Structure 1
Amino acid sequence: MSRLDRLRMGKVETRHFQQFNELLRYVFQVTKKELQMVGWEEREIALAKLPVLEKADVLGWFDGEKLISQLAVYPFQVNIFGRTFEMGGLTGVGTYPEYSGLGLMNKLMRQALLDMQQRKQSISYLFPYSFPFYRRKGWEIISDKMTFEIRDFQLPKIRKVPGYVERLDTEHPDVRTVYRHFSSMRHAAMIRNELAWDEYWRWDLDDLTAAVYYDDSHQPVGYLLYWISTDVLHVKEMVYINQEARIGLWNFISAHFSMVSKVVGNTYTNDPLAFWLDDGEIKETIAPYYMARIVDVKQFIAQYPFKALGIEIHLTFELDDPILEWNQGVFTLHVSESGQGQLIQSEGMADFSLDIQTLTTMLLGYKRPSYLADIGRLASNKQTVEILENLIERETPYFSDYF
């Protein structure tokens, strides 16, 4: 019997937990010492990943009883231009090196995507350890992460606002109330269920604090998640429903002027802090963050909110997908006067052609049709590009979660 004949694909269950954890630790080269340096004990390290097996759909390859390759899919939801989509969150991807080159991960991913299709998870998100690898599998960049560093003397001057800030425990219900409102307004954001919140907090230390901004009606309308270490205020996330809350939260940060030498943190929008601050000569960097891929293009289009142009639109396009045959071929897109889309298999001349990666980033608004056409990712004439520009809402994707 050859080695390939010994291998079988199957569900990874809680009884496989030790093997699951060992494979993750080996693939990502996370040592016990590194995790303990940030305050994690061995038992906590192990238990942190147990929810993956309990709440996710985990697939693996087994050589006899030995787990040799795996991936997990979390059941999540995201807001896409105001509509709730079921999303399969891909994580825990890895194969032992001695089993590489056998096409195991390709088959695992195809099966995981087939399972997502059957669960009506028409889109999948992931945090990439390799952009080229996941691009070859059909995922594409859809969001950015900005980091900033502001010296104490560059902090904004305190401005009068009618509300106030309270420091609270991160588990305070007002934090979730603010985020629920915020995520309903922000395109591409995670709609956090209990599992998503658990993942959001998973690797945070105990000294994380929430500062919640309340307006003059005592309603929570913004929060700051932060910690202070060695004279540095670290911002995990700042969420605000309106500009009053934004100013109020920055007032709170600026009140630490005598306590910290600088403020560092992350933002997930295309709103550079440098322009907003009086002293804009700060350090800001931008890097791609999350990737996504459309799982089932017909399901996705049926849910997707195109802009209502008041006229019916009919476009035929050719689509390529490196893994999924149901996303391959020629399709005709019908968009009603009210923006309702429908996709049917078609024949004949295509108005444009592209791959699933390009379609994903275009429909999520990370890159516009005109830009994609300019760089050769979208093969189309100018008239069709203009129609696509008019059909797709203009809003930058926001995603601040990690799983």
Structure 2
Amino acid sequence: MAHDIKALRARTREFIEERVIPAEPIIDQGGPAAVEALTKLKQEAKSAGLWALGHPEHLGGGGLPLYEFALVNEVIGRSEYGQQAVGSVTMQDAIMLDRYGTEEQKRRWLHPMIAGEIYPSVAMTEPEVAGSDPTRIRTTGTLEGDEWVVNGHKWFVSGAHGAAFTTVFAVTDPEAESPHRRISAIVIPKGTPGLEIVRAIKTMGTDRGDHCELQLTDVRVPADSLLGKRGAGFAVFQDRVGPGRIFHAMRWLGQAQRALELMVARAKTREAHGSLLSEKGEIRRYIAESTAEIQAARLLTLDAARRYDHDGRAGTEISLIKFWGARMLHNVVDRAIQVHGALGVSEDTPLEGMYRHARYARLYDGADEIHRMVVARAVLKGETPWDKPLL
């Protein structure tokens, strides 16, 4: 089905600018008012035909190819709450459940998740071992009769406090020859005995934590709670985070573009030392470099999305946009804060929040160092992106 992406982008931009961004202060505060505001936005997005645009069409989503969704998701990403408002926040998990879930798992979790009625969470990272090396995780899943018994310690489980279920990655086959065949994905419903949310971790000055620490003590779930095959957890996880990294890079473009617009508006209205900031060479350099970095990241992101659409194999391109996009976002927001001066580090603009998320971006879904290693290894083997034909 053909999509008028230009018109869809325009409608999405209007919704984000006129409905979502004005609601940001209310949602920031949390509590019942935030829930009410988000619920209203979801209803409006559904009525406007903007709901779950990138989810597969056979699941009730918009069915946009990743390349087209990148163009729309850039606009959604202008607000931190954009993806929740338009239902794209569950896209990674929807793809994972659709590909690996049983019919019962799909009935219980997938369809309500796409409708925005429930939310998922994923538990991979552990405080005791390096998160960049999932082969070292210590959480275990032991099959006892017709139940899995899970024990372990996880943290930075985003959204676990509000999730209907958590997909826990645990060692189920410690004797497997390959370390990548030792891990399985186990779906654990909210409220299962032994699953304890220890705390919501506050990060970088935030008053509320969206990232949770979990303790799992003799958590028992039925044997059919595996997501995918036994020992295939690493493949399940990679299939989730691969396109997920592209989703992140898409949203970072929207955040960076908004930061640049704030920088330009400030430069055109703020006077210092006899002239507007926009008339000063150093500020113009900030604007020019930010524009170049955003456009470079945009083209890299679109290339990765197009290649993923083509054959699902865009490993080097995804690693490129992960570390380049995170750095780009950090640089642009940092310059915007500098142009705003003291105002930039206050909560009177969205820049301080953007800066916090830009710093997170260099860590989650694979630290920048790992992705640079992936790219360098490919280039050393002669697999350079510029030698690949444009699709």
Rg comparison, structure with higher value: 1
Structure (1 or 2) with the greater helix fraction: 2
Q: Which has the higher strand share?
A: 1
With the length of structure 1 as denominator, give the TM-score of the two structures. 0.26
Higher RCO, 1 vs 2 (CA within 8 Å, ≥6 residues apart): 1
